[in-house]
Amino acid sequence: MSRIESLFTELRKTGRKAFMPFVTAGDPDLDFTADAIRELDRRGCSICEVGIPYSDPIADGPVIQASYTRALARKIKLGEILDMLGTVSQQVKMPLVTMVSYAIVYRHGLKQYVADAKAAGVAGAIVPDLLVEESQELAAICQEAHFSLIQLATPTTPRERALRIAQASTGFLYYVSVTGITGERTELPPTLVEKVGWLRTQTDLPICIGFGISTPQHVKLLAPVADGLIVGSAIVRRIAEAATRPRDTVLRDVSEYAASLLAALP
């Protein structure tokens, strides 16, 4: 059983839901990324998604795209990110997963990426541009390493395909709440709860919802049908202010914002 599978087993036993923040590795720099991960862990977050900067992200909105651009401008390297994660993973309780383009994994080497990420204490990978039809090789490598391979379903994914994606995923299924790109939203689709609720009856795999979640009201709406909630752009936008505001102040703002969403979970 992977660390992520163990986490959701424990959460389900107590009726709790996972809160999963997203941070971009290297924005504004790797030291701040490490500080943010430690602070989010201290607040009681369940899993932290760490975005590996990529020049051509598939579904990321302008806030996360801009953070990737800033990190890449600093010439950040995958090895440096993994070195940072190797240190911080030993200092936090929550598992870490990478949000990483398949192009990066492929260029690094599938077996090598999984081995290096696991050696750095990373528990799994979300690969948003990996089609389920093409995921068998990486899935087999991840399974052998007890490393979660998390795949995505969307509101427009046909039901039969969504079930296939769930069957091919380990750790949890990432359910995209809206059609389009990441970003904060004032409202979520009215059919979201129904669609996730149906999928919940079809699979035992934990389902975590991301894209557009940014308020305690969103958390309260979705928590009854989800096993976890993912928040990215709202956190990345706050972290971006570290370029112009005192870092301690920004870190406190991020921490207090995460606490407000955690407080809305059952």
Residues 6+ apart with CB under 8 A from 27: 33, 53, 67, 68, 70, 71, 236, 239, 240
pLDDT given at position 177: 76
Which of 80, 84, 99 minimizes the C-alpha distance to 37? Answer: 84
What mean pLDDT is reported for the chain? 91
pLDDT at 204 over 50: yes
Chain length of the chain: 266
pLDDT in tens, 109-126: 999 999 999 999 999 999
pLDDT given at position 156: 85
pLDDT given at position 195: 85
pTM for the full predicted model? 0.92
Which of 155, 88, 95, 156 minimizes the C-alpha distance to 126? Answer: 95
pLDDT exceeding 90 applies to what percent of the chain?
A: 77
pLDDT given at position 59: 55
Active-site amino acid positions: 49, 60
State in words which class domain 3-254 has: alpha beta
φ and ψ at 72, to 5 degrees?
-65, -30
Mean pLDDT, to the nearest integer, of 137-161? 94
DSSP-H helix ranges across 21-152 = 30-42, 62-73, 78-88, 102-108, 110-119, 136-145
What string of DSSP letters covers 21-48?
A: EEEETTSS-HHHHHHHHHHHHHTT-S-E
Mean pLDDT, to the nearest integer, of 12-34? 96
Q: Is the CB of residue 24 less than 8 Å from the CB of residue 236?
A: yes
Mean pLDDT, to the nearest integer, of 174-196? 64
Instruction: Return the sign of the alpha-carbon dihedral for residues 239, 121, 163, 221.
Output: negative
- The helix (H) or strand (E) run that includes residue 18 is strand 18-24
pLDDT given at position 57: 63
Which of 86, 133, 126, 145 minimizes the C-alpha distance to 211? Answer: 126
Three-state SS at 111: helix
Burial status of residue 102 (CB atoms within 10 A of its CB: 0-12, 13-18, 19 or more)? buried
Q: Given strand 18-24, what is the order of strands in its sheet?
A: 148-150, 122-126, 96-99, 48-51, 18-24, 228-231, 207-210, 173-176, 152-153
CA distance readout (Å), 104 to 93, 114, 201? 27, 12, 34
Task: List the chain domain ranges.
Answer: 3-254
pLDDT at 180 over 50: no
In which band, very low, low, confident or very high, does the pLDDT at 181 lie, cut at 50, 70 and 90?
very low
Q: How far is CA 23 from the centre of its chain?
A: 8
For tokens 């862990």, name the residue. Answer: 41
Phi-psi region of 6 (alpha: psi -120 to 50; beta: other; left: phi over 0): alpha
Separation of alpha carbons 190 and 196, rounded Å = 11
